[in-house]
Amino acid sequence: MLLGLDPLLGGDLLKTLRDMGHGDSICVVDCNFPAHEIARRAGVPCHALATDTPGAARAILSVMPLDSFVDTPVRRMEVTATPDELNEAHRELLATVHEVAGKEWRMGSIERFAFYEEAAKCAAVVATLDRRGYACFILTKGVIGPDGKIV
């Protein structure tokens, strides 16, 4: 254990987050998402966290800045047939983002099958135990300036 770090952040995940650069993304998904297969095909690590997607995002965002150079550094998988719907998992994740990273962040959306393609471009996939449908998100890493503040 280390002081000041969320205990969900193991060494491998911390290394992945540290090694990611500005504009790189990480995928945080529910337990029904084909996380291991997407990660295997993409040649990236798959980390498992025993939590729901907002809990995983809280841990990740405690050490990773969001990208202020893109319109929506937080993107969700759209619900099939109702793409504009924000389900419970989406609302909770956005509330977590606002609590941890600030109220200025907006959430974008990606059609379900396009989400799989975008997930395969991520630096890693984080699989959670969240059983709610469409609880799948992509977070884009931002920049920490010389003063230690998020740019």
Q: Tell me the residue type at 124.
A: A
- Residues involved in catalysis: 22, 67, 116
- Tell me which residue has tokens 């550094």: 73
Structurally, the chain folds into a number of domains equal to 1
Predicted confidence band of residue 82 (pLDDT cuts 50, 70, 90): very high
Q: For residue 121, what is the domain's CATH number?
A: 3.40.1650.10
Q: What is the value of pTM for the model shown? A: 0.96
Residue range(s) defining the domain that contains residue 83: 24-140
146 is a domain residue? no
18 is a domain residue? no
Residue 1 has pLDDT above 80, yes or no: no
5 is a domain residue? no
- Each residue of 14-46: pLDDT tens digit? 999 999 999 999 999 999 999 999 999 999 999
CA-to-CA separations, 25 to 63, 74, 80, 87, 131, in angstroms, rounded: 14, 9, 23, 22, 23
- Each residue of 85-134: pLDDT tens digit? 999 999 999 999 999 999 999 999 999 999 999 999 999 999 999 999 99
19 is a domain residue? no
118 is a domain residue? yes
150 is a domain residue? no
57 is a domain residue? yes
